[in-house]
């Protein structure tokens, strides 16, 4: 069984992360508001559990997640934790209508993958976090901005890496094809792939994971519950941040039934599955309360028999690989 507190190298960088990290999008009021005290208590619970790996972004709560994380970590020894944030969206004054984040400051994100915009983004994140450096900086969701990101953001981040302002250059996306291209071009030290190496979606296995393994690039697995369905496969659950269609719910329920026959929870299998591929270094999972954090840690460290994995792989259609846009 995995050890959530185990420190492992993030690829060929000098950065070392715990096997399990805290994704801080929920602490930026994703879908539901979390008050400051609860956000701080959740980060404190992660620390008490031995987690030393925290991931945030300007998008999460339009700066609120970075601010909360920075305040919660400020009294902690800086050398004892790893902090990741992202670039690609600058925050400007205004109101974002229909956002997934609620009760947020009066700011809205605008895409900017330019060289200068990336430098401004890092400067603003350092201020919100109250930090002098960032351990990992990811280019965030450059789906429709690939050329600009290559010419601007990656060049700026590599300069900041050379200057010691950041420790590792990465990219974080909800797709794997573009991440594989970044790996093959030698642009990244690590990649964060969300929702594409899970029990319900294994598209990252096609190209990204083999390419990363060959290049010595660390893979960070996130979105392992596919935004909720694999945590609780019920009607109304979300899959990739949208209401899950009925066939997907039934697939998740079948996974749940197979897991239950071995006395294992579906969330435990979902959290541990990504590490079965040797390219994956660490798993990130979100939590909005100490109770959720503690349950995630229990699931991540639960004993799972090998026979369960064999049973899941034999279950017809459970490991289909959905088509992904190139």
3-state DSSP assignment of residue 140: strand
Close Cβ partners of 154 (under 8 Å, ≥ 6 residues apart): 139, 169, 182, 187, 188
Catalytic residue among 3, 44, 55, 240: 55
Distance CA(224)–CA(261), nearest Å, equals: 21
Active site annotation includes 325: no
CA distance 82 to 13: 13
Residue of 3, 35, 44, 60 marked active site: 60
- Name 59's Cβ contacts closer than 8 Å, sequence gap at least 6: 28, 86, 89, 101, 109, 140
| Contact (Cβ atoms closer than 8 angstroms) between residue 135 and residue 166 | yes
- The catalytically annotated residue of 35, 44, 81, 86 is 86
Q: How far is CA 179 from CA 100, 154, 209, in A?
A: 24, 13, 10
Active site residue 60: yes
Instruction: Specify which residues 17 forms β-bridges with.
Output: 8
**Pairing, β 107-111 against β 89-93:** antiparallel
Tokens of 123: 């400067």
Instruction: Please state, as a whole number, how many other Cβ atoms lie within 10 Å of the Cβ of residue 45.
Output: 19
Q: Cα(36)–Cα(302) distance, rounded to whole angstroms?
A: 30
Distance CA 149, CA 142 (A): 7
User: Is 321 an annotated catalytic residue?
Assistant: no
- Residue 291 is classified by DSSP as H
| Residue 219, strand partner residues | 191, 280
Structural Rg of the chain based on CA atoms:
19
What is the set of active-site residues? 55, 60, 86
């Amino acid at each position: 069984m995995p050890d959530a507190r185990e420190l492992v190298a993030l690829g060929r960088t000098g950065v070392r992360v715990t096997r399990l990290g805290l994704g801080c999008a929920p602490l930026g009021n994703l879908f539901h508001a979390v008050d400051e005290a609860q956000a701080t208590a959740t980060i404190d619970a992660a620390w008490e559990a031995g987690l030393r790996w925290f991931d945030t972004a300007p998008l999460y709560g339009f700066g609120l997640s970075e601010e909360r994380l920075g305040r919660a970590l400020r009294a902690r020894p800086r050398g004892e934790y790893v902090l990741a944030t992202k670039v690609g969206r600058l925050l400007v004054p205004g109101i974002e209508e229909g956002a997934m984040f609620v009760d947020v400051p009066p700011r809205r994100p605008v895409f900017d993958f330019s060289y200068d915009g990336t430098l401004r983004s890092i400067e603003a994140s350092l201020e919100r976090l109250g930090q002098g450096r960032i351990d990992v900086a990811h280019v965030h969701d450059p789906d429709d901005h690939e050329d600009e990101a290559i010419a601007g953001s990656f060049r700026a981040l590599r300069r900041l890496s050379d200057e010691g302002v950041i420790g590792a250059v990465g990219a974080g996306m909800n797709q794997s094809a573009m991440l594989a291209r970044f790996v093959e071009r030698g642009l990244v030290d690590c990649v964060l792939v969300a929702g594409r190496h899970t029990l319900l979606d294994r598209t990252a296995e096609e190209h990204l994971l083999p390419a990363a393994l060959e290049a010595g690039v660390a893979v960070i697995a996130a979105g392992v519950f596919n935004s909720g369905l694999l945590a609780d496969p019920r009607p109304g659950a979300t899959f990739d941040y949208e209401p899950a269609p009925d066939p997907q719910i039934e697939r998740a329920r079948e996974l749940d039934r197979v897991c239950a026959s071995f006395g294992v929870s579906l969330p435990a299998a979902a959290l541990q599955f990504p590490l079965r591929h040797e390219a994956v270094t660490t798993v990130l999972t979100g939590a909005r309360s100490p109770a959720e954090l503690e349950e995630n840690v229990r699931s991540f460290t639960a004993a799972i028999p090998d026979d369960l994995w064999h049973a899941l792989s034999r279950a017809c259609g459970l490991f289909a690989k959905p088509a992904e846009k190139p």
